[in-house]
Amino acid sequence: MSLFQSRKCLTVINVVSPLYKHLGISFINLSRRPISSLDTPQDVERAKRWLKKFTKDSIPRDSLDMSFARSSGPGGQNFFSQIVNTKVDLRFNLGQAHWIPEYARKQLAIQKSNKINKKNELIITSDKTRSQVKNIEDCIEKLYESIVEAAQVPEGPSEETLQRIEKL
């Protein structure tokens, strides 16, 4: 019995399939040279620019693996629950996400360490609604918010703080 059969998943697909073409948006390369750390002011500035350009649509859909199962929540209570698998498990391999700056990948791994498996996949689930498509969008939104949170560039001290330090 495979892992997916034991979890009662009937289907494992890649989001690029024709059924979900409306969700697939082409990959946009947002950085020329990888930002591995925030050691220099130039790296910080490039990281801020990357974060400003990064949108939910920038996430390459072919890097997301999804599986579906019957939901225990609202989707599982659906009248057609034996036909429609509304719960979504999104798996995203951090090691292969070279379109995310390295510093952000490291931070994401720290922040979401309890949701990363031994294969270095970040696992995000949603069974919020009775619609499989809305649950897919919810998973992608959660992934986007996690990446944005991990990619935040720490701000330096304000001018007021610097002035107070100088007075000391």
Say yes or no to pLDDT of 43 above 70.
yes
pLDDT at 142 over 60: yes
Q: What is the pLDDT of residue 84?
A: 74
User: How confident is the model at residue 155, as a pLDDT?
Assistant: 75
- CATH fold, domain 3-167, is Double Stranded RNA Binding Domain (3.30.160)
What is the overall mean pLDDT for the chain? 75
Which one is predicted more confidently, 88 or 37?
88
d(CA 91, CA 69): 14
pLDDT tens-digit map of 88-135: 999 999 999 999 988 899 999 999 999 999 999 999 999 988 889 999
Domain ranges for the chain:
3-167
Q: Which amino acid is at 162?
A: L
Least confident of 18-22, 89-93, 102-106, 151-155: 18-22
- Among 1-15, 31-45, 71-85, 146-160, the range scoring the smallest mean pLDDT is 1-15
Q: What is the 3-state secondary structure (H, E, C) of the chain?
A: CCHHHHCCCCEEEECCCHHHHHHCCCCCCCCCCCCCCCCCHHHHHHHHHHHHHCCHHHCCHHHEEEEEECCCCHHHHCCCCCCCCCEEEEEEEHHHCCCCCHHHHHHHHHHCHHHECCCCEEEEEECCCCCHHHHHHHHHHHHHHHHHHHHCCCCCCCHHHHHHHHHC
Percentage above 90 pLDDT, the chain: 38
Cβ neighbours of residue 168 closer than 8 Å, sequence gap 6 or more: none
